[in-house]
Structure 1
């Protein structure tokens, strides 16, 4: 088994769309509207990823990401992550944010997400960041266990994000990037 972590390229866009949709369908089952999840089109999402990775299209006022990474297992892209500056305006939060980390359900248990996460942490450290935060759906227990195992902890921050027309409660996790886990 060969696992490679690298920067995402436009050619990865369609695979990223497949991962994004499959990960959402798995993670948000029972949390989000099932019809919304069923309507998510992996090809359309992938085309948006391709355009974004090429630098095409508007960012919707979002800051540019610092890195978009993928994990390729035996040549197949199976997980993806994005990091960037904080997208929240609170003054007491870290200035670095893990925007997303998604793994295709077929890759659960392969170590791809763990290796990808390790590279995310390394990239943030290389930038000189000492702390980072992320938002995770409160009811996404699998993701919460993953992040907790990787050294993230809830800091009491919470909000409700509307996803697919459904309010989804999210909790904020923070991690000291100087601390080593495991």
Structure 2
């Protein structure tokens, strides 16, 4: 269990990172690095990418970059809450934009869109559990979101001739 103690100024528990936080942070950092390298390598095709895809990439890069920061620093303080709000906004924007991205044609959804719908349900739950100081449930929800919506979904953006995979692997 994470070590927790109460701040002298309030009742919000401050939680220190655990092993799972470090592992997820490494995964998020690797995903962020792979995405940035792919984007740089694909510079010759940037002009062909629709604005919606750029918005989607920007929001997920923000969330992915903030994930290690959010998971590795001491939690429960004002800075963590601020980072968390930006992360939540980025995750919601990423999920919403993904619903308008159709690889198979207009109106055709893929399995990855299920993760977007799950994100639209989970992200408000993450905010609600934090707001109500349900630390254990909040941590489980964040870990699940990082695993499912960032790492699993992120992994599947690279194979199967998808944009980032094509840019990264040529």
TM bin (shorter chain): under 0.3
Structure whose residues are more often helix by fraction: 2
Q: TM-score, normalised by structure 2?
A: 0.26
Higher relative contact order (CA 8 A, sep 6+): 2
Larger Rg: 2
